[in-house]
Homo-oligomer: A and B are copies of this chain.
């Protein structure tokens, strides 16, 4: 089921600026028994991303109701898209009214209760462009992710890791990246590229709560091959340990379970 501006429907105008220019933002979140998980954080991030593009964000309570309607009591994935709306021709904004879409999909196997907690990853050849004006925002310009994901089709490989043009490791194609080295928790600086996801933000908040020493910095790709444990996270999978990158096996140090627990200490 899809709700478009609150009405059941399958379509959006072919003149929508979300289609024409990727002029909008989105959220992918998990619903459990019909309720959105981490809703306060999801709604706050959506509002922040809208603000970053100068979009009027719909009221969180309206979105919450619509998420519950499409989730219909089930465990599923819910996607929210907010676009600038139907524009006149050309890049100039003119008078436009944002359009919101809320849609549900089945939880993918890799995010289900029986999915392996340790995964295989690979390095992607595509390197992310550096654009501080858009970095961190979950906007609709995602061709880099599409092209990176198209680099492999081996279902045994769950994630591709991305570096920027200068060779700094940034994230997974669909996840954020954490690693631990000598009891220090690391995650890449996303000032120039990447999406700053809600799971990452919750882990950084949890790190403060637990007193874990944390560094948000730029590192060359080699840094994670030298780590004590490497993990990916997002709103669907929680925290997974990367057991292998291409042909390199990676060690573990007991951090995955610690981070996963921290991630779910509250469900708000």
Contact = CB atoms under 8 A, between A and B. Distances in A.
A14 B103 contact: yes
A213 interface: no
Nearest to A16: B19
Interface residues of A, number: 60
Nearest to A25: B143
A174 B143 contact: no
Interface in A63-99: 77, 79, 81, 83-84, 88-93
A217 B89 CA distance: 31
B77 A143 contact: no
A20 interface: yes
A11 B10 CA distance: 9
Given A19-B19, A131-B129, A147 B53 contact: yes
* For the complex of A and B, 5 pairs with smallest distance between CB atoms: A129-B131, A22-B22, A11-B11, A141-B141, A91-B149
16 contacts: A2-B15, A9-B14, A11-B11, A12-B16, A17-B146, A18-B19, A20-B26, A21-B141, A21-B142, A22-B141, A84-B146, A91-B146, A91-B148, A91-B149, A91-B174, A133-B144
Interface of A: 2, 4, 9-23, 26, 53-54, 77, 79, 81, 83-84, 88-93, 101, 103, 105, 108, 126-131, 133-134, 139-150, 153, 165, 173-174, 193
